[in-house]
Amino acid sequence: MVKYKYKGQGYSNTDINKYSKELLLNLLFSMIRIRMIEETIESKYHEDQMKSPIHLVIGQEATSVGACAALKVTDHIYSSHRTHGNYLAKGGDLKAMMSELFCRANGCCGSRGGSMHLIDKSVGMMSTSAIVSGIVPIANGAAMASKMKNEGRVIGVFFGDAAMEEGAFWESLNFAILKKLPIIYLCENNFYSVCTPLDKRQPASVELFDKAAGFGIEAKQIDATNLLLVYETVLEAAEKARNGGGPTFIENVAYRLRGHGGAGDDSKSGYRGLDEVDSWQNICPIHTLQNEMKNHNLIDENTINDFQNRTQLEIDEAFHHAVSSPNPSEDSLMQHVYAD
Ligand X SMILES: Cc1ncc(C[n+]2csc(CCOP(=O)(O)OP(=O)(O)O)c2C)c(N)n1
Site for ligand X in 241-300 (CB under 6 A): 260
Minimum CB distance to ligand X, residue 49 (Å): 24
The answer to whether 226 and 63 are in contact (CB under 8 A) is no
Dihedral sign for Cα 15, 66, 295, 284, please. Answer: negative
Site for ligand X in 32-91 (CB under 6 A): 80-82
Q: Per CB under 6 A, which region of 124-132, 200-208, 246-254, 312-320 contacts ligand X?
A: 124-132
Of 86 and 311, nearer to ligand X (C-beta) is 86
Rounded CA separation 39/44 (Å): 9
Q: Per CB under 6 A, which region of 128-136, 170-178, 225-233, 262-270 contacts ligand X?
A: 128-136
Output the 3-class SS for the chain. Answer: CCCCCCCCCCCCCCCHHHCCHHHHHHHHHHHHHHHHHHHHHHHHHHHCCCCCCCCCCCCCHHHHHHHHHHCCCCCEEEECCCCHHHHHHCCCCHHHHHHHHCCCCCCCCCCCCCHHHCCEHHHCEEEECCCCCCHHHHHHHHHHHHHHCCCCCCEEEEEEHHHHHCHHHHHHHHHHHHHCCCEEEEEEECCEECCEEHHHCCCCCCCHHHHHHCCCCEEEEEECCCHHHHHHHHHHHHHHHHCCCCCEEEEEECCCCCCCCCCCCCHHHCCCCHHHHHHHHCCCHHHHHHHHHHHCCCCCHHHHHHHHHHHHHHHHHHHHHHHCCCCCCHHHCCCCCCCC
Among 54, 58, 69, 163, indicate the residue that binds ligand X (CB under 6 A): 163
Of 84 and 90, nearer to ligand X (C-beta) is 84
Minimum CB distance to ligand X, residue 314 (Å): 26
Minimum CB distance to ligand X, residue 205 (Å): 20
Residue number of the CB closest to ligand X reads 160
Minimum CB distance to ligand X, residue 80 (Å): 6
The answer to whether 58 and 265 are in contact (CB under 8 A) is no
User: How many residues of this chain bind ligand X (CB under 6 A)?
Assistant: 16
Minimum CB distance to ligand X, residue 173 (Å): 15
Among 2, 25, 36, 130, indicate the residue that binds ligand X (CB under 6 A): 130
Of 172 and 290, nearer to ligand X (C-beta) is 172
Minimum CB distance to ligand X, residue 133 (Å): 7
Of 81 and 90, nearer to ligand X (C-beta) is 81
Among 56, 101, 119, 132, indicate the residue that binds ligand X (CB under 6 A): 132
Of 196 and 335, nearer to ligand X (C-beta) is 196
Rounded CA separation 86/68 (Å): 7
Of 171 and 236, nearer to ligand X (C-beta) is 171
Of 212 and 322, nearer to ligand X (C-beta) is 212
Q: Per CB under 6 A, which region of 91-99, 118-126, 161-169, 246-254 contacts ligand X?
A: 161-169
Among 38, 93, 120, 161, indicate the residue that binds ligand X (CB under 6 A): 161
Rounded CA separation 154/102 (Å): 32
Q: Which candidate, 140, 149, 136, 158, places its Cα nearest to that of 246? A: 140
Minimum CB distance to ligand X, residue 130 (Å): 5
**Contact characters 183-222, ligand X, x per CB under 6 A:** -----x-x-xxx----------------------------
Minimum CB distance to ligand X, residue 75 (Å): 22
Which residues form the interface with ligand X (CB under 6 A)?
Answer: 80-82, 130-132, 160-163, 188, 190, 192-194, 260
